[in-house]
Structure 1
Amino acid sequence: MNNPESEEGERTELRQDLPSSTSAERSSSSSPGLILAASATDGMAAAALRSVLQRVNQAAERSGRGLDRIRVVAVSKTKPVPLLREVYDAGHRCFGENYVQEIVEKAPQLPEDIEWHFIGNLQSNKVKPLLSGVPNLAMVQTVDDEKIANNLNRAIGNIGRKPLKVMVQVNTSGEESKYGVEPGGCVELAKHVSLNCPNLEFCGLMTIGMPDYTSTPENFKTLANCRTEVCKALGISEEQCELSMGMSGDFELAIEMGSTNVRIGSTIFGAREYPKKQTN
């Protein structure tokens, strides 16, 4: 099964914790001249980040929102720590990783004010290493069944850390190769997290999309419809339920269709560099 770039809000009380746009980022995104001036001295990743933030800002404006209402998760899968540091030094604070081993290795080498998001499939035996190895883990976006929710809830209680924000991952494309609960099961899973997992804070829904990881409007509409049903079942407003949809190939469309969280990897960091398989 694959989980690439995910494997790559709008009410004040919900959106105050979105660190995707620091004051430095917001000022750079609102001033094209500043972006160009900064790019002259930036490394390639920092310059790419500024370009992405400008595009996010434009898409947000088309949807009637501002950049501070969209969280940009810089997906750093397979990328070395110095490259992450370059993006950090450009003002970004929100990073996402797909594999427990990678995030556990990288997090201690980088500043503690980073907001780490785990966006890959999480196995039960990796829950404790993830939580203990990344004290500044801010969110797990890929809760796709009650078992992993229960394991996270139990482990957080044992560690004694504050409640962890989580999203329910929904398989909107219907592919067997994709993780995620079926759309028809997202209400029950969201209810389970909200009602039976006191150490977890349900905060939204996440999806990956189509086979090439470039979603279509239908995927985004499906997730939006799931939000409507979940919010009705939980008795919360839609502004209290984030939508994490959109990656490098489709984040602008996702934002225009309501996404509050985009996961952008290769557009910021460049193509991924996987180690070559050894042959005999």
Structure 2
Amino acid sequence: MIAENIKKVRENIEETCKKVGRDSKEVTLICVSKTKPESDIIEAYNVGERNFGENKVQEMCEKHDDLNDDIRWHMIGHLQRNKVKYLTDSAYLIHSVDSKRLLEQIEKEYEKAGKEAHVLLEINVALEDSKFGYTCESVIEDLPFIETLKHVKVVGLMTVAPYTDNPEDNRKYFRKLKELSVDIESKKYNNISMDELSMGMTGDYMIAIEEGATLVRVGTGIFGNRNYNV
């Protein structure tokens, strides 16, 4: 079932890219494996998937230690500052950087580890009270500070759009994130690129691709519904 689901998602990505004149190689599928057993990840791995997303640091680190070295682990959940130190060996990309204080902690821990963190700045485009993230305005204030960091490289933006039964409702948020990335890119900050846009999940990833997503985070559409009581 997982392999079949991945095939369908891949076909959707291909068709959507063709529709808007994009190369499907520009879009990376992240299989969101949070709460799912390692056997599910292995099934996805065996049909060629290498990018997996986790919400919790401990779960990601355990899976990183148990599974193949060529898997790229994406930290997509809210990140507490006291957990950053555990990511230096496991995180390929941190999607959910939502404050200056978190940036300072990442800089501190990656300096200790002698490594460079690749991160995305999380933007709460829809201004939902239940979501973390910078606003489109507040993120601009921290960009000069980010230029000074030696061990953190910002490579783009991320957003979690509202849950909706109609994916078309989220088009305006994806478009706004893309516009923000173009604006930031035009200012040519050192240490900041806008190569990646992480937006779109199971319900709306095709709309996100139409609006410029380079990373789509698909969980339920690949692994099925989650049991959070496990």
Question: AA paired with 1:166?
Answer: V
The answer for the alignment partner of 1:29 in structure 2 is none
TM-score (norm. length: structure 1): 0.77
Cα deviation digits, residues 197-252 of structure 1 (max 9, x gap): 2111111011001144956111112111211221122358x984321110000000
Q: Identity over aligned residues, as a percent?
A: 33
User: 1:188/1:59 Cα in 2 relative to 1: closer, same or farther (>3 Å)?
Assistant: same
Query: C-alpha distance in 1, partners of 2:176/2:143?
Result: 16
Query: C-alpha distance in 2, partners of 1:231/1:111?
Result: 35
SS of residue in 2 equivalent to 1:181: coil
The answer for the alignment partner of 2:10 in structure 1 is 53
Question: AA paired with 1:102?
Answer: E
Cα deviation digits, residues 28-47 of structure 1 (max 9, x gap): xxxxxxxxxxxxxxxx1112
Question: 2:120, 2:154 within 8 Å by CA — same for their partners in 1?
Answer: yes
SS of residue in 1 equivalent to 2:185: helix
Aligned residues between the structures: 227
The answer for the alignment partner of 2:28 in structure 1 is 71
SS of residue in 2 equivalent to 1:82: helix
1:249 aligns with 2:206: no
1:196 aligns with 2:148: yes
* Structure that is richer in strand per residue: 2
Query: C-alpha distance in 1, partners of 2:164/2:132?
Result: 15
Query: C-alpha distance in 1, partners of 2:51/2:19?
Result: 23
Query: How do 1:1-280 and structure 2 match up within 5 A?
Result: 44-131=1-88, 135-161=89-115, 163-193=116-146, 195-212=147-164, 216-234=170-188, 240-275=194-229
**What are the ranges of 5 or more consecutive residues in structure 1 without an aligned counterpart?**
1-43
**What are the ranges of 5 or more consecutive residues in structure 2 without an aligned counterpart?**
none
Structure with the greater alpha carbon radius of gyration = 1
Kindly report the root-mean-square deviation, in angstroms, between the aligned alpha carbons of the 2 structures.
Answer: 1.9
Query: C-alpha distance in 2, partners of 1:260/1:179?
Result: 21
87-96 vs 61-70, which deviates more? 61-70
